[in-house]
Amino acid sequence: MRKRVPAMLLAALSVLAIAQPTVAQSQEQQPKKTQRTARPAEPKPANIDRNGVLILVRTSLLALDQANKTGNYTVLRDLGAPGFQANTAAKLGEIFAPQRQQALDLGGVAVLEPQLTLLPQIEPSGMLHMAGFFPSVPMQVNFELLFAPHERQWKLFGISVTLSN
């Protein structure tokens, strides 16, 4: 039987909504367009090496671990992309309160090897997305991460962490 611990569900997804601009044109000047069914863009494999993946996964999860242990989410917030920083440190504290109250220890991710269940891929939005787990005992650490490109670096945009047996 699997035991799931509630966790953060991609904190920054609330800021993902992107307004689509609309263009008003005169009806008489609009040429008739044929109906074309556009195929939705599909994710593409990310051009990132194993060390890059390890750095992103470990630093993100350890930053969350330290924020949970101290109750101070300022550094976690400041390490994120601008969209993630739309969350205040107080809001992140609210989001991760269940993990903090359960005193979850994610320190093992510093030395364990992550097993990826979703290889790093670039989403149609341009964001880097990956997921996986750390096969630890007695609880397995499951993660899903989303990074936005910012100033030539991948910055944390969304994070989800759960534990299971």
Strands 153-164 and 140-150: antiparallel
Domain annotation for the chain: domains and CATH numbers:
44-164 (3.10.450.630)
Instruction: Single out the residue of 145, 154, 152 nearest to residue 7, CA to CA.
Output: 145
* 3-state per-residue secondary structure call for 54-74: HHHHHHHHHHHHHHHHHCCCH
Residue pLDDT, tens place only, 109-144: 999 999 999 999 999 999 999 999 999 878 899 999
What would the pLDDT profile of 69-87 be if each residue is shown by its tens digit? 999 999 999 999 999 999 9
Q: How far is CA 50 from the centre of its chain?
A: 18
